[in-house]
Amino acid sequence: MEQALGQLPTDIEQVVLVNNAGTIDPIGLAHTNDSAEVSQSIVLNLTAPMLLCGAFINQLKIAQLKKNYQYIVRSGAQGIRGMECLLCRKILRVDHFSSCIDAENEDVKVVSVAPGIIDTGMQEKIRQSDATDFPLIEKFLDYKESGLLSSPEETARLLIEMNERTDFNELPTILDIRNLSTEKE
């Protein structure tokens, strides 16, 4: 993080960290998931964003940058059978972590963003799942067939618009970007 931030120009006004890495694996009901896959998933979906956030905030404080924001893009897969592991390891814990970091740091704005249903490799993997592991597979196949998936580019545009809002610092720590008015206040 120190090396990455050291590459930035000195006259910047804002630094944004987007934690967007994640994995959908293992897909399956909680009692069928392999313990090693669950552990690996927790490292990528929870531990890595926590460590990156800590390093990011520490380096920004050392550099004494005045405006620094970070947000975590998280899954919206709440309450979906076959994704219990994802719900437990990412959504609930990342939301709680985001709330803690936001409360602890006056100079950092943290937003845990539910980005909607995005047409990514994760969606493709879900659609290739076995109905035994993922009982709602038909629903996800229908999302694709009905054109209900957002593109990564559209989601990136919404995140940029969110970040450019004049009221960004007043946004809730946990939000669904689809419910956010695109009108800047």
Report yes or no on 43 lying in a domain. yes
Provide the CATH number for the domain around residue 68: 3.40.50.720
112 domain residue, yes or no: yes
List the strands of the sheet with 108-114, edge to edge: 15-19, 68-73, 108-114, 174-176
For residue 58, the enclosing domain spans: 14-116+150-176
pLDDT of residue 46: 83
Is 52 inside any structural domain?
yes
pLDDT in tens, 161-175: 998 899 988 999 888
pLDDT for 73 equals 64
Phi-psi region of 88 (alpha: psi -120 to 50; beta: other; left: phi over 0): alpha
Enter the tokens of residue 94: 């990342």
Residue 39, in any domain of the structure: yes
Predicted confidence (pLDDT) per residue in 19-64, tens digit: 887 777 887 777 888 889 888 888 888 888 889 888 888 888 777 7
Distance CA 127, CA 82 (A): 12
Which pTM value belongs to this model?
A: 0.76
Q: Could you tell me if residue 68 is inside a domain?
A: yes
Q: Would 123 be classed as within a structural domain? A: no
**Domain count for the chain:** 1
63 lies in a domain?
A: yes
Q: With bands split at pLDDT 50, 70 and 90, how would you rate the model's confidence at 69?
A: low
What's the rounded Cα separation, in Å, for the pair 118 and 143? 10
3-state secondary structure of 76: coil
For residue 90, give the nearest of 45, 26, 125, 144 by alpha carbon.
45
95-152 pLDDT, tens digit per residue, is: 888 888 888 888 788 888 888 888 888 888 888 888 887 788 888 899 899 998 889 9
Q: How many CB atoms lie within 10 A of CB 168?
A: 17
For residue 40, is it within any domain? yes
